[in-house]
Amino acid sequence: MEKRVVITGLGAISPLGKNVNESWDGIKNKKCGIDKITLFDITGFKCTLAGEVKDYNPAEYLDLKQAKRLDRSSQFAIISAREAFNDSKITTENTDFNRIGVFISSGIGGIQTIEEQCEICNAKGYNRVSPMFIPMVIANMPAGNVAIDLGLKGESIAIVSACASSTHAIGEAFKTIKEGTEDVILAGGSEAAICKLGIAGFENMKALSTSEDKNRASIPFDKERSGFIMGEGGAVLVLEELEHAKKRNAKIYAEVIGYGATSDAYHITSPSPDGEGAARAMKRAIENAKITAKDIDYINAHGTSTHLNDMYETMAVKTALGDYSKNVMISSTKGNTGHLLGAAGAIEAIFSVKAIEEGIVPPTINYKVKDEDCDLDIVPNEIRKKDLNIVMSNSLGFGGHNASIIIKKFVD
């Protein structure tokens, strides 16, 4: 018999705050965590805004030696994983650490370290490149470093699927626990790509908004949207087999009940026409959850604020949910955080869990101009109080990677 999978811990560091409560309060207060880039000199750049983690000092969380050996992306992973793990109250007395996995993803990995060490190499020569360069930059190291930091000895993997990475991580963790391979998995993502190289790459692709008004830069579903705004941070959820969680009297936030993943097989950056691939991922998740479209109360959309993504995701929801799509609430929290790339799905999963817990639907903030191509109920600008039973969260990545997870209010 398939096992049930529940969520027993949450951890985050984001442009809205340094933990889950601060980040969620930012959503409830309709805070925009986007502002002028401070991590590097923006002279000559068209994109001047980002969702940075504010006033971040690694010394608050890590000793000096450890911090120097970790790219910022791994630092964020460790910080959010520690919070989630402490929140879960898992100990060696109540859990076998050999059966705790770590599925933490990053879309890009240590790009800040790549930029820094390339500059050193060019200026001072190959022999001055740090011996820690490779362990700091490879995309599996947020997962590896979390496993090392917490002593977790189950399966440890990093799924790299661009902006769908951490939703895939949560979905694959769900599957792994359902089949009984692990009792607990820390699942999520981290990203720290706000650097000259990262911004230049996306800017030259014409993917980023060049608005200088932070309240009109990341504007999902708005007709004047012109690109996404990069964010950074980490987010981790503790997924646990239900009977294991009950045995140790764990607090249960919600239950994961469905997961669907597909490929567009269409283009390296553009979604497939009409959101066909995303629609199939949603349908798979609904089928996997053994529910119907009408059971979904709210969708936390990928909603990047790019022209094609928001239009095609709207079409995908209509295809997946049929006539019911006009009744479902769907919003994007990327107006608050910017786009956390590989960590986006995990922070949005946490917001989905909190929405269920508190009966609050996050709004799509800074929305002004209606787009006839994005005509669903996007919960514009104002929070909605609503008892939520089932929530879907979508993530869509470059390369045509699509992932949807379904989370339900827990009932024993």
Query: Each residue of 349-405: pLDDT tens digit?
Result: 999 999 999 999 999 999 999 999 999 999 999 999 999 999 999 999 999 999 999
CA distance 115 to 196: 8
Among residues of the chain, what percentage have pLDDT more than 90?
Answer: 97
Whether residue 339 lies in the annotated active site: yes
| Annotated catalytic residue, options 47, 168, 244, 302 | 302
CA distance 129 to 189: 27
- Residue 268, SS3 per DSSP: coil
pLDDT at residue 2 in the model: 87
Q: Which residues pair with 339 in a beta bridge?
A: 230
CA distance 376 to 143: 37
CA distance 340 to 376: 24
Q: How far is CA 399 from CA 73, 285, 366, 372, in A?
A: 22, 20, 29, 27
Residue 274's pLDDT band (cuts 50, 70, 90)? confident
Give the pLDDT mean for 174-189.
98
Q: Is residue 154 within 8 Å of residue 101, measured between CB atoms?
A: yes
CA distance 106 to 116: 19
**What one-character DSSP code corresponds to residue 51?**
B
- Residue 8, SS3 per DSSP: strand
| pTM score of the predicted model | 0.97
Burial 163-178 (b: 16+ CB within 10 A, else e): bbbbbbbbbbbbbbbb
CA distance 153 to 102: 8
φ, ψ dihedrals at 299, nearest 5°: -120, 125
* pLDDT tens per residue across span 309-339: 999 999 999 999 999 999 999 999 999 999 9
| Annotated catalytic residue, options 32, 47, 168, 339 | 339
Among residues of the chain, what percentage have pLDDT more than 70?
Answer: 100
Whether residue 168 lies in the annotated active site: no
pLDDT at residue 408 in the model: 98
The domains located in the chain, with CATH, are 5-247 (3.40.47.10), 259-408 (3.40.47.10)
Residue 273's pLDDT band (cuts 50, 70, 90)? confident
Residue 1's pLDDT band (cuts 50, 70, 90)? confident
Q: What angle do CA 29, 31, 37 make, to 5 degrees?
A: 165
- Residue 360, SS3 per DSSP: strand
| Annotated catalytic residue, options 32, 163, 195, 374 | 163
Mean pLDDT of the chain: 97
Closest by CA position to 108, among listed 142, 78, 82: 142
